[in-house]
Amino acid sequence: MRTEFYVFLVLMVVACSKRETVDYPSMPHNGIADYFDSSLAPFYHGVASGDPLSDAVIIWTRITPEDSLPQIEVRWMISESSDFSTIELEGMEKTSPAQDYTVKVDVSGLEAGTQYFYRFIALGDTSIVGKTRTSPISGIEEVRLGVVSCSNYEWGYFTAYKKLAEKELDAVLHLGDYIYEYGPGSYGDTTLNRLHYPKKEVITLADYRLRYSQYRLDPDLRLAHQNHAFITIWDDHEIANDSYVGGAQNHQEGEGDYNIRREAARKAYYEWLPVRASENLYRKFNYGELVDLIMLDERLAGRTAPADSLNDPTLSDSTHSMLGTEQLDWFNEQLTSSEATWKVIGNQVIYSYLDWGWPGFNINLDSWDGYPLEQIKIANLIRDKSIKNVVFVTGDTHSSWAFEVSIDPFNDYDQRTGEGAFAVEFGTTSINSANSNERSPDDSVRAHEERIVNSPINPHLKFANLRDHGYLVLTLTQEEAKADWYYVESVIKKTDKEVLAKSISVQKGSTKLDL
């Protein structure tokens, strides 16, 4: 987001390959290998699953041989029993340095609404067992989705991932900033000695691969992936701060061609995350008659450069776009054709109008408020087509929010009755990335929250927490959508403590939040 710090490039010396006769790299015996848990070899990064459908799911692992191999054969198997006493499906895959020794299998032919266990075998060893779940197609009473965003290795421990792993969920939505691109010490708490690797800002494909490797070696994140299917989307830090199709705030002239950097980041993302390979990352998931989940790409599909200020004529330019024409048309079709009770929008940056109320910082032009023409088009579609039960879930801001969505809350919204709102929006805080009380005392931040919630500047904003870290659980039934905010005790010390701090719901057919 635009309030984050600028960082400087640190050059890294690249080690020469141990095998000069081949073009694949030597395997690490220090550096990233310092993070390995030897008991997991060669599956140090564990397992993961994602993009669940009613009859298919992606399963993922990464093999790290002791030294480079041109190719590795990997056996996979999936079972309804945790001891694999029966095998529903199995097969063989091959991996190589071309995909950074990652393995991704799109397993089809599965039963809907079913829990499965899966594992991999390679180089004579067996991986840990992962657990996943296909989406149901009928008779659905409830869907529970974990919602997370913004995990920065340097800002502290990933305790929220560990606690999320313990929950009973249908899937986890990761709304972006899965990694951060900054070099060590640029944006984090250096006292914890959780410094970024490689020891530079990541720019090349090799850099991005190593950064994903470091994050995926964290035991709490590894556990969350082991226990739940993830549905992910990138935000900006998977590429560079405030990124868009043609550039980024944190890409400097001396860092090479941005297009090459962007494509390197995209390739590493598809290698390291359990997502289905596709030209576009925006996509839809269905949970029968209850939920349509629409995941938007608000960075690399069509976003143009942000405006410089509220006086910038770019804001009224018809070519100024968050989604791009193709994605916007697709999004409109998904909304208008949905027959599900709830339409849940996986949204990276805040859609609702928001005045932050900070001296010198009111409107964030990197959010939807910086792309008002497209913002209004979506609002008009929902209102004109009388599309009901639209729920935006949002990341990015390292804060928790609940809005009765109106982009003109001063002229087209009744604060008392909620009339004029056309959707609701729930924002999840960060897993651990810095929020307001890293810069200001808790009492000051609490006072600021009270100033901006249900206030003359934000009459439609009903809840804000700019202090705590954790995650959101969204529970959807035929009668209501309920957001539960869980906060961990600390991100700077290892702890198992968390608290269910706030629950807010909305009834079917309404946009009035029940606080």
Helix residue ranges per DSSP H, 296-398: 325-337, 372-384
What does the alpha-carbon distance between residue 425 and residue 408 come to, in Å, rounded to a whole number? 15
369 exposure class (CB count in 10 Å sphere: 0-12, 13-18, 19+) = buried
Please, what is the Cα angle at 137 between 132 and 142, to 5 degrees? 75
Residue 360 CB burial class (10 angstroms; 0-12, 13-18, ≥19): exposed
Question: What phi, psi does 124 have (nearest 5°)?
Answer: 80, 5
| 421 contacts 509 by C-beta, under 8 angstroms | no
Q: Could you identify the residue written with the tokens 């928001």?
A: 354
Which residues 6+ apart lie within 8 Å of 360 measured at CB?
none
Residue where a domain stops, chosen among 132, 153, 168: 132
Tell me the C-alpha distance between 437 and 206, whole Å.
Answer: 35
Is the Cβ–Cβ distance between 403 and 352 less than 8 Å? yes
Q: What is the reported pLDDT for 127?
A: 98
Amino acid residing at 485: W
Residue 91 phi/psi, 5-degree rounding, is -175, -175
CATH of the domain at 218: 3.60.21.70
Based on the domain organization, do 178 and 76 belong to the same domain? no
Cβ atoms within 10 Å of 201's Cβ, excluding its own? 25
Contacts of 89 (CB under 8 A, 6+ apart): 77, 78, 107, 109, 110
Per residue, what are the HEC states of 2-25?
A: CCCCCCCCCCCCCCCCCCCCCCCC
pLDDT for the residue 300: 98
Expressed as residue numbers, the domain containing 60 is 42-132
Question: Is residue 386 a part of any domain in this protein?
Answer: yes
CB 170 within 8 A of CB 144: yes
Residues 119, 149: one domain?
no
Q: Are 63 and 125 in contact (CB under 8 A)?
A: no
Q: Which of 132, 160, 188 is the last residue of a domain?
A: 132
Whether 31 maps to a domain, the answer reads: no
All residues at 6 or more sequence positions from 303 whose CB lies less than 8 Å from its CB, including other chains: 244, 245, 321, 322, 323, 324, 371
Do 169 and 81 lie in one domain? The reply is no
Q: Are residues 120 and 170 in the same domain?
A: no
Structure tokens at 491: 């991100």
Decide: 420 and 412 in contact? Cβ < 8 Å. yes
Same-domain pairing of 214 and 338: yes
Burial of 454 (0-12, 13-18, 19+ CB in 10 A): middle
14 found inside a domain: no
How many Å apart are CA 402 and CA 404, to the nearest integer? 7
Asked whether the beta carbons of 424 and 392 are under 8 A apart, the reply is yes
Measured between alpha carbons, how far is 87 from 303 in angstroms, rounded to an integer?
Answer: 45
The reply to whether 191 and 217 lie within a common domain is: yes
Q: How far apart are CA 235 and CA 460, in angstroms?
A: 25
**Strand order from edge to edge, sheet including 102-108:** 102-108, 56-62, 47-50, 229-232, 171-174, 143-148, 470-476, 480-488, 498-507, 513-514
Residue 369 resides in a domain: yes
> Does residue 58 sit within a domain?
yes
* Cross-strand pairs, 344: 293, 391
Q: What is the Cα–Cα distance from 322 to 302, expressed in whole angstroms?
A: 6
Residue 15 pLDDT: 26
CA distance 42 to 62: 8
- What is the domain-level CATH number for residue 87? 2.60.40.380
Distance of CA 104 to the CA centre of its chain: 19
Q: Is 456 in the same domain as 439?
A: yes
Please indicate, yes or no, if residue 77 is contained in any of the structural domains. yes
DSSP helix/strand/coil, 63: coil
pLDDT at 223: 98
Distance, CA of 208 to CA of 191 (rounded, Å): 24
User: In the structure encoding, which two tokens stand for residue 483, read together?
Assistant: 């957001």
109 lies in the same domain as 60: yes
Q: What is the dihedral of CA 226, 228, 232, 236, to 10 degrees?
A: -60
Per-residue pLDDT tens listing for the chain (515 residues):
544 432 222 222 222 222 223 334 556 667 899 999 999 999 999 999 999 999 999 999 999 999 999 999 999 999 999 999 999 999 999 999 999 999 999 999 999 999 999 999 999 999 999 999 999 999 999 999 999 999 999 999 999 999 999 999 999 999 999 999 999 999 999 899 999 999 999 999 999 999 999 999 999 999 999 999 999 999 999 999 999 999 999 999 999 999 999 999 999 999 999 999 899 999 999 999 999 999 999 999 999 999 999 999 999 999 999 999 999 999 999 999 999 999 999 999 999 999 999 888 899 999 999 999 999 999 999 999 999 999 999 999 999 999 999 999 999 999 999 999 999 999 999 999 999 988 889 999 999 999 999 999 999 999 999 999 999 999 999 999 999 999 999 999 999 999 999 999 999 999 999 99
Residue ending a domain, among 132, 157, 185, is: 132
Q: What phi, psi does 335 have (nearest 5°)?
A: -65, -45
Residue 5 belongs to some domain of the structure: no
226 and 162 within one domain:
yes
pLDDT of residue 438: 85
User: Which residues on adjacent β-strands are paired with residue 131?
Assistant: 117
In a domain, 27, yes or no: no
Question: Cα(373)–Cα(318) distance, rounded to whole angstroms?
Answer: 7
- Flag whether the pTM goes above 0.85: yes
Write the DSSP symbol of residue 358: B
420 and 471 in a common domain: yes
**Token representation of residue 12:** 């890294």
> How many domains does one find in the chain?
2
Which of 220, 217, 274 has its CA nearest to residue 38? 217
- In this structure, the answer to whether residues 166 and 92 fall within a common structural domain is no
Q: Are residues 196 and 115 in the same domain?
A: no
Q: Which two tokens stand for residue 109?
A: 């032919």
Residue 387, Cβ neighbours under 10 Å: how many?
15
Please state whether beta strands 470-476 and 125-126 pair in parallel, antiparallel, or not at all (unpaired). Answer: unpaired
